[in-house]
A and B are shown apart, each in its own frame.
Chain A
Amino acid sequence: MTSSKALFESFDGVAALAQAVRSRDVSAVEVTRSCLTRIAELDDRLGCFLRVDEAGALAAAQAVDDQVRAGADDDLLLAGVPVGIKDMLCTKDLETTAASKILKGFVPPYDATAVAKLRAAGAIVLGKLNMDEFAMGSSNENSAYFPCKNPWDVTRVPGGSSGGSAAAVAASLCPLSLGTDTGGSIRQPAALCGVTGMKPTYGRVSRYGVIAFASSLDQVGPLAHSALDLAHALQVIGGHDAHDATSLSLAQPDYVAACQVPIVDKGRRLRIGLPKEYFAQGLDPRIEECVRRAIATLEQEGAEIVDVSLPLTKHAVAIYYLIATAEASSNLSRYDGVRYGLRVTPREGELAAGQSALIEMYKRTRAAGFGPEVKRRIMLGTYVLRSGYYDAYYRRAGQVRTLVARDFEAAFAKCDVLMTPTSPVLPFRLGERMSDPMTMYLADIYTISCNLAGLPGLSMPCGFITDEGSSRPLPVGVQILGKALRDDKVLQVAAAYQRVTDWHKQRPKLLLGDGKEAA
């Protein structure tokens, strides 16, 4: 049997892994077992997985091996590739909670479309990944169960909300994971954990079966070690889904082929736009330096660098918090303790005169089931939708959102992609920012506009910084934003960068339970 260490050390991309399984160099069961072993060894200290489905994963792996043996593996593009799924996506017969107590014990009778497509391609679902409750947060500290930690420095946050998805890939607990991104929830943790993560164009990946946070902003995307791996994953999970009315009914480009296209293609130089508002006050100068070096690398590869402006950037956070909370307050109305999840019923004699047991049940269930950040956002969202305030807040935010999208159109008239920092700050220490929601919200400044406009965005590592008072290097992420539907272009640029750099190949040194370092 191949050891867990050997397997991830020899890991050379998900396509190569699937090929090895299909040519029976290694069995899906062996690959799965090696991941399960590594999770068992390391995840107690990291908190990436909310639950691991060992039996289900091994059974699925066995089924893939059987298919391979029967020669029925033509469609198994991800044969035997272990994946972790953010707890925001429904998994049939596997508890799904959105890291919230209100959904504790909820076992979906169906798979999210993205999960079903992964399974159909032979990927093995290992379990459900930690996250901020209902994807509300940027640090994973809002998980109702336990926080997830950054594999590069376990005293620091992995980012959020898809913190578990990023940390699990960074720690090589699985080579591929799914996250969701509403305002940067894939890209920011990818940056903080030193992995490559992508939010596709809105509508590329079906939202069916994805627990809704803010429906007009939510998008599912993959996290992995390289742009090429993302391309393979997106090829599988993307595409039209008749069960999602916001799913794009367009054929997908060949993302894998796009990864091979050079920066200067048939004599045409790729144009990279630098929005000046993204290199402004508040950006850690050490991060700026890494990002500018990455841009210079691509310039050396032949890219043309142009300055652009996105003047409404300063309003993005305000728009986001009005729209996202309004939609969230609506989406979270269904958690009422009636059909599934938690129910808190007032006890006999607890009701005051004139109080309804039913209404009290609603109020207590929701008070006990939602964490403080979720309640805060439900309150804000409910408030801005009230009839007297709707126009001033929700509607106006929607109007400025239109202008933000127009800003991007104008910028993309001058360039093919934009490059920016992903996060203005390095991974911070756990607990450091919990007390101040507004500061936390403002840290999403670089990732939010992309969701408002529905554009594709990717974050990949572009360097490491050792913070003061720390001995461990911390990853820095660079973000690539593309025009709507040009997910292929975003992947092309990232892959070109990763061909000439090796930041994405760096792995954190992890301490095993016995104090020894894991590779």
Chain B
Amino acid sequence: MSRHSPGLLVSADEIRVTAEMARLLLAESDIPKLSDELSAVLSYAASLQEVEVTGVPPMTHAVPDFCPLRGDVIEPHDSIESALRNAPSSEASFFAVPAVFGQGAAADDTMDGEG
């Protein structure tokens, strides 16, 4: 099941990996504090392990188990200007970002794209 049993301290390394996944730049000095705080919440949450849940389905939605479907129709939308108005950086009609295949990127983990 889990790599650690719940309640165990979240190590500094676990904090670093989690921050990478969440794309959060942490100062080294933030790490021990986060490690403590996450550990505190998770050890508090360890009480959930005491509850008998065999055969109980998890509740993921607070509404009846029914997914409404929409008709396949095109709805009018806003102009490209309004889309780009909020963009931190754009060129022509494109949103612009630092090069996806820039320095270091190709060898790292930006290659998750499905396309």
Contacts and interface: CB of A to CB of B under 8 A. Distances in A.
Interface string B4-37: 0110001000110011011111100000001001
A342 B88 contact: yes
Q: Is the interface of A mostly helix, strand, loop or mixed?
A: helix
A318 B46 CA distance: 8
Interface string B75-115: 00010001101111100000101111011110111100000
Contact of A403 (B56, B89, B108): B56
B51 interface: yes
Task: From B2, B5, B25, B78, name the one whose CB has the most chain A CB atoms within 10 angstroms.
Answer: B25
A276 to B, nearest CB: 19
Contact of A378 (B22, B67, B82, B83): B22
Contacts, number: 199
Interface in A323-379: 329, 336-343, 345, 351, 353-364, 366-367, 370, 375-376, 378-379
Interface in B39-53: 40-42, 44-45, 47-49, 51, 53
Given A364-B25, A453-B62, A107 B48 contact: no
Contact of B18 (A366, A386, A391, A441): A386
Given A105-B86, A246-B61, A399-B53, A383 B23 contact: no
Given A321-B41, A382-B22, A383-B10, A400 B48 contact: yes
A319 interface: yes
Contacts of A362: 23
Contacts of B110: 356, 358-359
Given A341-B88, A363-B24, A354 B68 contact: no
A134 B62 CA distance: 21
A510 interface: no
Interface string A66-109: 00000000000000000000000000000000000000011101
B40 to A, nearest CB: 6
A503 interface: no
11 contacts: A312-B51, A322-B45, A340-B88, A357-B102, A362-B23, A379-B24, A389-B2, A391-B2, A398-B58, A400-B53, A400-B56
Interface of A: 105-107, 109-110, 202-203, 216-217, 242, 245-246, 248-249, 312, 314-315, 317-319, 321-322, 329, 336-343, 345, 351, 353-364, 366-367, 370, 375-376, 378-380, 382-384, 386, 388-389, 391-393, 395-403, 405, 437-438, 441, 451-454
Interface of B: 1-3, 5-6, 10, 14-15, 18-19, 21-26, 34, 37-38, 40-42, 44-45, 47-49, 51, 53, 56-63, 67-68, 70, 78, 82-83, 85-89, 95, 97-100, 102-105, 107-110
